[in-house]
Amino acid sequence: MSHTEDEDDPFPVDDCLFTETFSLESVYTLMGEEVKIRQLFGADLGVAAPVWEAALHLCRYLEDQSVELRGKRLIELGAGTGVVGIVAARLGAEVTLTDLPLALPQLDANVSANKPSSGWPSLPPTVLPLSWGEDHMNFSSDWDLVLCADIIYLPETYLPLVETLAHLCGKGAAAYLSSKMRDEHETAAFYEKHLPSRFNVELVHRDDKQNNNIYRASLRTGQ
């Protein structure tokens, strides 16, 4: 896994990081695929703008564990820049990228920028709005994989997220969630209390240096 950035310093000198809009393009090599990801930093996008380390950890884990992606139906929640799902699509997965409506233009732009020269090996990634706990029933439960990278940071969203995950995993999908473990956001409580209320949860990877955990979750029978 490697990446290069078009600018040495991705952040403006001004302390108000997201008060002015600016873009940064970074090139990542993940799972053998080189992707160019545009990150649009601005007050509107907020946390949806950057490529978070948890997304890179998830890609590296899927590669290290040789998780089969080709031909799999995959949905990513809180996709942000779309880096995880775009890499999966380039490897042959049938991918749906979801986030709040304000993040969709950035997702669409990154999907377009990363179309392989020979065309997508499966279908082009689909980009759709999804608000957890509100419109999740508009989505199928027939997925193979549900991927989430650094979306556990607002405690008020934890219950609707579990509800959404339970619906999406209703026909046996495995969910992989990669998270920076932040005390101030009660991230551990999500994995120790909220998610286990309906899922079997296993810690499958821990990076002590980056304080990043990856969990595999499967819906419990009868849920």
The pLDDT tens digits for 171-223 are: 999 999 999 999 999 999 999 999 999 999 999 999 999 999 999 999 998 76
Q: Do the domain assignments include residue 179?
A: yes
Quick one: 14 exposed, middle or buried, by C-beta within 10 A (0-12, 13-18, 19+)?
exposed
Q: Do the domain assignments include residue 1?
A: no
Count how many Cα atoms sit within 13 Å of the Cα of residue 32 in the half-sphere of its side chain: 9
Q: Do the domain assignments include residue 53?
A: yes
The span from the CA of 141 to the CA of 3, in Å, is 34
Containing domain of residue 42, as a range? Answer: 20-217
Could you tell me the sign of the dihedral formed by the alpha carbons of 148, 45, 193, 188, in that order?
Answer: positive
CATH (domain of 129): 3.40.50.150
Which is higher by pLDDT, 19 or 100? 100
The span from the CA of 93 to the CA of 192, in Å, is 30
The pLDDT tens digits for 120-172 are: 999 999 999 999 999 999 999 999 999 999 999 999 999 999 999 999 999 99
Q: Do the domain assignments include residue 222?
A: no
* pLDDT at 14 exceeding the cut of 50: no
Residues 6+ apart with CB under 8 A from 208: none
Query: What's the whole-number mean pLDDT along residues 78-100?
Result: 97
What pTM did the predictor assign? 0.86
* pLDDT at 100 exceeding the cut of 80: yes
Q: What is the pLDDT of residue 24?
A: 82
- Amino acid identity, residue 95? V
The span from the CA of 13 to the CA of 167, in Å, is 44
The span from the CA of 98 to the CA of 78, in Å, is 6
Output the CA–CA distances (angstroms, integers) from residue 148 to 33, 42, 43, 120, 155, in the order listed: 20, 22, 23, 22, 16
The span from the CA of 92 to the CA of 158, in Å, is 31
Q: Do the domain assignments include residue 223?
A: no
Q: Do the domain assignments include residue 2?
A: no
Tell me what the pLDDT averaged over the chain comes to. Answer: 88
Q: What is the pLDDT of residue 51?
A: 79
Q: Where are the alpha helices (DSSP H) in the chain?
A: 53-64, 83-90, 104-113, 158-168, 187-189
Q: What is the pLDDT of residue 41?
A: 66
pLDDT grade, residue 13 (50/70/90)? very low
- Amino acid identity, residue 57? H
Q: Do the domain assignments include residue 9?
A: no
The pLDDT tens digits for 30-71 are: 999 999 998 876 645 444 456 789 999 999 999 999 999 999
Q: Do the domain assignments include residue 172?
A: yes
Total tally of structural domains belonging to the chain: 1
Q: Return the percentage of the chain with pLDDT > 70, whole number.
A: 85
Written as one string, the DSSP assignment of 112-175 is HHT--TT--SSSPPEEEE--TTTSGGGS-S--SEEEEES----GGGHHHHHHHHHHHTTTS-EE
